[in-house]
Structure 1
């Protein structure tokens, strides 16, 4: 028997306010304390803040749909049609296959040496310069040197990519000011991607070139290509920028953990997982409930939206020992920082590769990381990352 939302615990604070976006964890804890499902009165959404229910929802594509959009507002869901994020079943599998094969481990292995070399060069340059912004000069510089070439984006048209990519995430929150002011940039990126496809000024051998060949061979409609390019480039930039900048901040503020990683570099895979668990790049996405459903005894009506909070699940006291402590000895591989199930972030392998390369370069060359001015956080409905992180890298003697 369906229960009205008033029978579900209610949270009345705005988890998408500027203050909450900058410091989300007290809100997540309050939501988890209320129950496995909480009604967000400000946004008219059911939130799933705990780990077990979050993972269950992400892995049940039959009941919790992405094909009606994963945003918390209807106009962004309409705008994102044609992406793998906004699709289900065979349609999702077909679209994902068109782009994800370039992000599989075998394909990424061919990039390894080049990414390692770029990371080492960036670290060496940062040491020579003294003080740098770890976000711009390290966390952003590496993926920006790799991802656009993989996609095939025109080399002389990359100046706005970061702003556009951030906007494609920002519009996926509720219809707040953050999303509204990001809309023009998101539309600009879509229009530009359409122009790139129309004019075919893409790099040979790239994903874009491959998709255009599929169009010529009749296996893909031309209008499907621009959303797929955006599908690939935006997550591959922002998730990596988040992970690398979080890594630098966490190791700068926890020198004992940095020393541990230097002494035991075999902990590097653990460290990457713990970084993503502790500071999840993605806050969460919504799913639409196909039929009346039950989550841990809470009845939810067909057609309702569920906000799956990855970042909250990764701090759930029911799943993790000392979840608010950053410790690279943790076995955090089961985190949901990149989602889970069929819609898990296709770019996570690339994000891991680049984050690992940056940390490896730092381990080899840097004794400690010092923060030299107050860091600032970016304000984005979906992405959690630093805006500026002024640091000095102290080289090993």
Structure 2
């Protein structure tokens, strides 16, 4: 049995993870993590196969790396398996499908144009607070249809949610009161009475009234709109701007050929995956080479490592907007693939198009990384545009 005796949720590894991921990949297809009492799959083909095999790699016992969350948050969309997951996801997905988003695309594109025009006039701005957070907070919170208190706290609740999905270290423990606040908010009668009737959250309750889902699931499904819809998109936007600043020749290709935007987004999601990975529980024993993982053991599926696996990608640490990167796992894969990925692509595309018409070059100052148990991205990213 190959083991990697390092705390993957320490500040040091969170800030500089990629050498550790490579070391795990090189040890073998399945590696034991003594610090966390679970296994790790870090190679592309193994992670993708596990994500596809929901029957063998179950989400129904939680996807966190700790039992506090795994025993306390079961039954929401991401902690169920088909067919229950399929029914719940179908309701969540309705306003997030590509056809449904056609109606909101003009609003997102117009807001992106206004934002970028303002930022370019400023010339200097924080790519996180001033740019990456803007569309998710102003547009998405409105589409979800939360009362004002919910919109004001979405970022804090989302960051806490992802911290708690790692191990129960100091960050995970400190996240718990924020998560309880979110749970209480989504079940509060005052929240429900204040929902916008045209919003996505109110549509969940109408689906329950129609018998599609149980009413008891609605608060948890509201949380699915609040937490995953923000930080992943925000961090992806920040990482893409950072990569364009570090690789001006790649930005030159994109701004003069807008058909490369989808590939550029995929490349940023591959190279700087916003979500490091989630766990699953094996329902049956699995064999990897000489290693057998018993049924009932928990396995960390390390998306961010799989997306840099030398066995899959040629020169995987190179940022190349023309790469065929459609198979990246930045949005996950299989039944639990990110339900909001079309919205994320729409927001990021609108921003990049707006920048492409106005900016020849990005120059970055001293960035600061966010330290989160599950997410990777920047907390601050000073940018000057030329």
TM range (shorter): over 0.9
SS class of match (2:281): strand
SS class of match (1:306): strand
Does residue 324 of the first structure (1) align with residue 317 of the second (2)?
A: yes
TM-score between both structures, scaled by the size of structure 2: 0.97
- Counterpart Cα distance in 2 of 1:150 and 1:297: 50
- Counterpart Cα distance in 2 of 1:290 and 1:218: 30
2:382 alignment counterpart: 390
1:314 alignment counterpart: 307
- Counterpart Cα distance in 1 of 2:40 and 2:83: 27
Aligned match for 1:191, one of 181, 184, 190 = 184
Larger deviation, residues 90-99 vs 208-217: 208-217
CA apart distance, 1:296 = 4.4
Aligned match for 2:37, one of 37, 44, 47 = 44
Alignment of 1:356-395 (within 5 A): 356-371=349-364, 373-394=365-386
CA apart distance, 1:235 = 1.0
Is the Cα contact below 8 Å between 2:186 and 2:192 reproduced in 1?
Answer: no
CA apart distance, 1:209 = 1.4
Is the Cα contact below 8 Å between 1:73 and 1:173 reproduced in 2?
Answer: yes
Q: Deviations over 1:266-322 (max 9, x none)?
A: 111111111100100110000000012223453110100110000000000000000
Q: Deviations over 1:217-272 (max 9, x none)?
A: 44433331111011122111111101100011110111111111112221111111
Aligned match for 1:121, one of 114, 117, 132 = 114
Is the Cα contact below 8 Å between 2:279 and 2:298 reproduced in 1?
Answer: yes
Question: Could you list the runs of 4 or more consecutive aligned residues of structure 1 that deviate by over 6 angstroms after TM superposition?
Answer: none
Alignment of 1:9-28 (within 5 A): 9-28=2-21
Q: Structure 1 residues 196, 374: CA separation in 2 closer, same or farther (over 3 Å shift)?
A: farther
Q: Structure 1 residues 251, 269: CA separation in 2 closer, same or farther (over 3 Å shift)?
A: same
Q: Deviations over 1:347-380 (max 9, x none)?
A: 1111111111111111011111111x31001011
Is the Cα contact below 8 Å between 2:77 and 2:89 reproduced in 1?
Answer: yes
Q: Deviations over 1:17-48 (max 9, x none)?
A: 00101111111011011111100010011100
Larger deviation, residues 46-55 vs 79-88: 79-88
Is the Cα contact below 8 Å between 1:165 and 1:238 reproduced in 2?
Answer: yes
Is the Cα contact below 8 Å between 1:53 and 1:296 reproduced in 2?
Answer: no
1:29 alignment counterpart: 22
SS class of match (2:78): coil
SS class of match (1:367): coil
Aligned match for 1:67, one of 60, 67, 70 = 60
1:3 alignment counterpart: none
Does residue 215 of the first structure (1) align with residue 208 of the second (2)?
A: yes
Q: Structure 1 residues 282, 197: CA separation in 2 closer, same or farther (over 3 Å shift)?
A: farther
Aligned residues: 386
- Counterpart Cα distance in 1 of 2:190 and 2:223: 12
Gaps of 5+ in 1: 1-7
SS class of match (1:392): strand
Gaps of 5+ in 2: none
Is the Cα contact below 8 Å between 2:91 and 2:207 reproduced in 1?
Answer: no
- Counterpart Cα distance in 1 of 2:157 and 2:58: 26
1:83 alignment counterpart: 76
Q: What is the RMSD computed on CA atoms of the aligned residues?
A: 1.3
SS class of match (1:85): helix
Is the Cα contact below 8 Å between 1:239 and 1:282 reproduced in 2?
Answer: yes
TM-score between both structures, scaled by the size of structure 1: 0.94
SS class of match (2:133): helix
